[in-house]
Amino acid sequence: MSVLEQLIEALKRLPGVGQKSAQRMAYHLLQHDREGARSLALALQAAAEQIGHCQRCHTFSETPLCGICADPARDARLLCVVESPADQAALERSNSYKGYYFVLLGRISPLDGVGVRQIGATELLQRAAETAVEEVILATSFTAEGEATAHVLAEALRSRGIRVTRLARGVPVGSELEYVDLGTIAHALVDRR
């Protein structure tokens, strides 16, 4: 396999990138942005070597504790459970949550052989049992796997006397009802307050 073919194959590993997109990226970098290609290669190498997981919440971190877990100003009464570091980043960008996190690094998916052990449920239960934690917020996705994950975790947490809540779902801000899917409208009606 030529070096160019290796580059195209490597780019195809990115989500949503097929053969044509990978070729387009490779040709662009080689033809128009060699310096960008070098910068990208160095950044990827540094990230792969230097970024690990936070010992406390499992998000990406260059240090044993991420910046959020090391921040004493966060609200220790709240623990938000998310599926991935990307989900955590999205919640942080909202500037509306000031507690701590636990990143599952996945969700239950029996067809893929992913169960509660693989997503760190034992570590979550230990973390939620800390005396300061008063509420665990389940912020998993609203897919079938995300709902199953939330259900299993909620049952395990509640059986230990821990207060569990779930992210609300409903009509997006700024949307018009006629364009919202029927499942979202149905959930908004059931979960109205």
Q: Which amino acid type is present at position 51?
A: I
Angle at CA of residue 87, ends 86 and 92, nearest 5°: 95
pLDDT range class, residue 185, cuts 50, 70, 90 = confident
Where do the domains of the chain lie, and which CATH numbers do they carry?
3-50 (1.10.8.420), 76-166 (3.40.1360.10)
Q: At 80, which helix (H) or strand (E)? A: strand 75-82
pLDDT at 101: 97
The CA-atom distances, in angstroms, between 178 and each of 170, 175, 181, 182, 189 are 14, 9, 8, 9, 15
pTM for this predicted structure? 0.84
Least trusted range by pLDDT, from 43-47, 97-101, 115-119, 132-136: 115-119
The CA-atom distances, in angstroms, between 188 and each of 61, 67, 140, 167, 193 are 36, 35, 17, 12, 9
Give the Cα separation of 115 and 117 in Å (integer): 5
Give the tens place of pLDDT for each residue, 28-85: 999 999 999 999 999 999 999 999 999 999 999 999 999 999 999 999 999 999 999 9
Distance of CA 136 to the CA centre of its chain: 16
Give the Cα separation of 44 and 161 in Å (integer): 44
